[in-house]
Amino acid sequence: MSTIAPHDALKSDVAAWFVQLRDRICGEFEAIEDMAGPNPGRFERTSWDRPDGGGGVMSVIKGQVFEKAGVNISVVQGNFTPDFAARIPGTEAGAAFWAAGISLVAHPRSPKLPAVHMNTRMMVTAKGWFGGGGDLTPLQPGTAAAVEDTAGFHAAYKAACDRHDPAYYEKFKKWCDEYFYLPHRQEPRGAGGIFYDYLDSGDAVADFAFTRDVGEAFCAAYMPIARRRFAETFTPEEREAQLIRRGRYVEFNLLYDRGTTFGLKTGGKVDAILMSMPPEVKWP
């Protein structure tokens, strides 16, 4: 009698969860847009198909609070090319893969409100694993507001980690700090958060439960900041500094981000992959 591997058995539940999380986050963002006054922004959704298997849905909002924010979901399958297989431990060229995930990036209009990123995913090849995390990019680093926002953001993710393993937070915080680092500038992209990959504890159901909590923690981590900061006034000089700071975001995503590389090398939709790019940015 054939058996179904643990991660294979979770595929439908994982894909459905990402849809649920997408809908909840989009609803929360639109509620904050409603708080900003008339003509609130609304998400526009665009479906796409991947020629080699699978596809996804882009959800993008361009509003008063969120100059641009995207919440994308995808479920794709196919075979690894030789150059990409070399990037994943234990994976051979031509190996079949299945991957599902949610990816979020928000670029607020106000420099008082930090930019934010979150993603969670499950990959199945010869084995299966989970990955994800969330990180905050204050656009006025070092200020009292940025310190407050960063503390609350990290506290929400620590609480999610501690519910599953007391060692997770410090381990995944360190991973985040090392991953979201710009070596050519010798500086971090932002204020960090948590990041993990290749999570396979031997209990796929428990790993999925943790990954769900990481997704839920995003709302607890970021939405209070957004409600607190969106209406704060800012100067033209602060806006200019924000646009320059966004350049760091662009540099990281184009030079180092694994998700961007995965999407481009596996035939994903380019507009969805580059959804993370800010609508306006400057370099000094």
Active-site residue list: 117
| 282 contacts: CB under 8 Å, gap ≥ 6 | 240, 243, 244, 246, 247
Nearest to 133 by CA among 158, 108, 167: 158
Helix (H) or strand (E) holding 132: strand 128-137
Q: Is 122 helix (H, G, I), strand (E, B) or coil?
A: strand
* Cβ(98)–Cβ(79) below 8 Å: no
Torsional class of 254: left (φ above 0), alpha (ψ -120 to 50), beta (otherwise): alpha
Q: Is 133 helix (H, G, I), strand (E, B) or coil?
A: strand
Q: How far apart are CA 88 and CA 215, in angstroms?
A: 24
